[in-house]
Amino acid sequence: MVVNYNFKINPKDKRTIELLLSNMKTKLPMFMDVAIHNYAGSVVKSLRREVTMKAAVRGGSPRTKLASEIRADKLKRFSYGVFIPQRGVYLDSMPSHYVSLNKRRLINRWVQKYYTGKKVSGKSRIYHGKFGQIRGGLYVTPDPFIDEGTEKVNHVLDDEIKLALEKTFGVI
């Protein structure tokens, strides 16, 4: 982001220079902290939207619990972090692979509840065994949502920084 500073200050005008320096020391850090906080909140909203939309489009389980666990926290002064649960990172970046459906696996419950037989890649083979148990293998693929969610809000940071500078120095 490039911001043009068009200040015309008379070097003899000591009062204006002192006022600008005072604003830089006191107001700029506060407004920049607010800008970074607002950007982190925008990233969280975008990631939550992406993860729930991906689930709706693919017809899988609703991922509202995962979306509600994505959050932004203040780490230290002028530093915010966006926290995504580890399973969300796995969901975003895992390689495609087979999962065999054995007797005692938790994924069997998911298959019974959400798997409709819709073939994403045509590689899943699910059938019922002799006594009604689920057998076969499920081919799972990643749902990349992190990069897409952050790319949609990159412009927000530029806008927030520009707004912070405008509040500090007046119109830029």
Pick left, alpha or beta for residue 162 (phi over 0 → left; psi -120 to 50 → alpha; otherwise beta).
alpha
pTM of the entire structure? 0.73
Residue 28 is which amino acid? L
For 93-125, the pLDDT digits (tens) are 999 888 888 777 888 887 777 776 665 556 666
CB atoms within 10 A of CB 70: 22
**3-state SS of the chain: helix, strand, coil percent to 5?**
50, 15, 35
**Cβ contact 165:172 at 8 Å:** yes
What residues does 135 pair with on adjacent strands?
Answer: 127
For 14-58, the pLDDT digits (tens) are 677 677 677 777 788 888 888 899 999 999 999 999 998 877 776
For the residues 6-16, what does the mean pLDDT come to?
63
For the residues 114-137, what does the mean pLDDT come to?
68
DSSP 38-57: HHHHHHHHHHHHHHHHHHHH
CB atoms within 10 A of CB 19: 12
Residue 34 is which amino acid? V
